[in-house]
Amino acid sequence: MYLKNSKIIVIKIGSSLLVDENKKIRKKWLSSFAKDIKKLKDKNQKIVIVSSGAIALGCKKMNFNKKNIKLDKSQAIASIGQIELMNLFSQTFSKFKLNISQILLTLEDTEERRRSLNAKRTFENLFELGFIPVVNENDTIATTEIKYGDNDRLASRVAQITNADTLILLSDVDGLFTKNPKVNKDAKLIKIVNDINKDLKEINIKGINEYGSGGMQTKIEAAKICQLAGSSMIIANGLYSNPISKIIEKNNCTWFSPKVSKLHARKKWIISSIAPKGNIVIDDGAKKALKLGKSLLAAGIKNVSGRFNKGDHIKVLDKKNNECARGLSSFSSDEVKKIMGHHSNEIQKLLGYVAKSEVIHKDDMVEV
């Protein structure tokens, strides 16, 4: 488990890392963090940042006390603070010639298949353009009370969607300890967790849940999601300058190793999670292309059955009706009927609008 081998890295930073207890923005820290990101980018590693801080920065601008704000007011404060947050990132990262973009998500966006597929495509396109997505929960439309720790779970979902190799949760402690280190001097840092249920059986998570801005329980929940998605996860101290370099050099943190490989995680997601909504029959040429790891194009489709929407789970059958793959469709069944048998460059003309060139992208398909 080495960070240098990770091609896609998601990094979550809490509001306490951006704004100190005196409501001062930690500009020096953010600059050191940007310097770390620049080093990763120079090694062609793809980075996503999940950042809290919109409400904290909104409170700072409006001179409000965060503890006294009710939900409806906090949503307005988040709206004000989100611009402050992105300006802060933009000003700091531009000094290192790093380009950022903004993505606002709700948990529903990452759990509902069609929406998560759209989010996945957006991340992929931003990577291709060389931009760093900065993700935050869309607090302005949150329907439940905004709580610390939500972005831990959100970050794990982002890691799942982007097929990340590693998620780093930057906290205000070095990692997961056997006891609360702020109370017990004999508390020991747990370096590696392979099996959460077995390895943490004797650890009272609730007893050490006081420390860490998001609480340790939400970080454990995030680790469970990562392990099933085939991603490693790190809990590390982000209060230091150059926190990512510290992880690489010192490795003084807690690693959660993945339970399954990423390939198995995708098979579990695509094959087991959703009931197929329809079937697509393909010709021999398309079948051969799939075996070579190619995407499914409209030209190779011979027949469509069932009714499905964009992002729905469908079966891919050969001419003898034998199932050869399953995947998530980039088109509805009605759209596929219009474009099947045609070349990809004809799709826009046939549908009347710009659309994807692949009916099922290779990343959203598993051979059976």
CATH topology of domain 3-266: Carbamate kinase (3.40.1160)
pLDDT for residue 343 is more than 80: yes
Residue pLDDT, tens place only, 109-159 = 776 667 888 899 999 999 999 999 999 988 666 555 444 346 888 899 899
Question: Which two tokens mark 139?
Answer: 């607090």
Sequence-distant (6+) residues with CB within 8 A of 123 are 48, 103, 133, 158, 161, 162
Residue pLDDT, tens place only, 241-261 = 999 999 999 999 999 999 877
The dihedral through the CA atoms of 244, 15, 76, 80 has a sign that is negative
Residue spans of the domains in the chain: they are 3-266, 274-367
pTM, entire model: 0.74
pLDDT, position 275: 62
- Tell me how far CA of residue 152 lies from CA of 52, 137, 299, in angstroms: 10, 10, 43
Same fold, 3-266 and 274-367: no
CA pair distance 303, 223, nearest whole angstrom: 42
pLDDT, position 20: 87
Domain 274-367 class in CATH = mainly beta
